[in-house]
Amino acid sequence: MTEPVRELPGTTTTPEPEQEVRLSFLDHLRELRKRLGRALLGVAAGMLAVGWFVEPIFHQLMQPVLDSLPEKQRALHYTSYVEPLMVYLKVALYGGIFAAVPWVLYQLWQFIAPGLYKREKKVVIPFLVSGTLLFYGGAGFCYRIIMPAAFPAMAAIANDASLSPVLTMSEQLSLVLAMLLGFGVVFELPVVIAFLSMIGVVHWQTLAKYRRVAVIVNVAVAAIITPTGDPLNLALMAVPMVLFYEIGIVLARILGKKRPEAAIAQAEG
């Protein structure tokens, strides 16, 4: 029998990740390739499911755009016979990505889980659920709140009797999808901050120290994501981002790794 290792007086044992396996660089690449392959298969399955309803989904996505137009001009145009086909394929692709978000997040977790401690692995379900809900919540917030205000504001800029809008299917779809994905990713901010704090990349005191800088960065990002400079639309994006940053600080304080007092004092100095 193997005798248990005794700790010498005055020494401490650093906890190791549960069931730690030493992998080479090539092994990590193979594991990453496997997880990416499975994630792509999930996206492909989502594309097949969405493909059956691609036309009504497209019309639903374009509804905020059409509602911003005068009643007699509520129509989208295409510049070639190939454009409608490419538009529907794009709807299927992005629809597959949206549908596969939980599966993609799970594959990401499976890739990083072997290097985490037992306490960190217990939060896998809360992380997956909250990450998925926040992503869908951000996209829903954009569709229900931002778009009905943003598109009329953009249409008002060209409020001239001599001008007539000719909106194409492809360009408007790209704009709508970019906004939906942008808001979905931004709403993931609390989960990202909490995870980075758990693995020791960031600390809640550092985040709190640079709160003012984060507010400026959040407003700048909100100005880039929102398609119009209207103050109301900018506020509708910037306020949730600042709020989520504060929630991320709270989660980082609860879930994050503890740092030695010397390191904290050095960071604050």
CA distance 268 to 196: 19
Q: Measuring CA to CA, which residue among 164, 163, 222, 228 is closest to residue 189?
A: 222
Range of the domain at 237: 188-269
Judgement on whether residues 61 and 180 belong to the same structural domain of the protein: yes
CA distance 265 to 269: 6
Judgement on whether residues 172 and 246 belong to the same structural domain of the protein: no
How much is the pLDDT for 214? 86
Average pLDDT, the chain: 79
Q: Any idea which residue has 């396996």 for tokens?
A: 21
- Continuous H helices in the chain: 25-51, 54-67, 83-99, 101-112, 118-121, 124-141, 147-157, 169-186, 189-198, 204-209, 211-225, 231-255, 261-268
Residues in the chain: 269
For the stretch 47-96, pLDDT in tens is 999 888 999 999 999 999 999 888 777 888 888 999 999 999 999 999 99
Judgement on whether residues 201 and 102 belong to the same structural domain of the protein: no
For 32, 126, 257, the CA distances from 116, given in Å and listed in that order, are 16, 16, 12
Distance separating the N- and C-terminal Cα atoms of the chain: 52
For the stretch 180-190, pLDDT in tens is 888 888 888 88
In a domain, 4, yes or no: no
For the stretch 148-194, pLDDT in tens is 888 888 777 777 667 777 889 999 999 899 888 888 888 888 888 88
Counted domains in the chain: 2
For the stretch 20-39, pLDDT in tens is 556 667 777 888 889 899 99
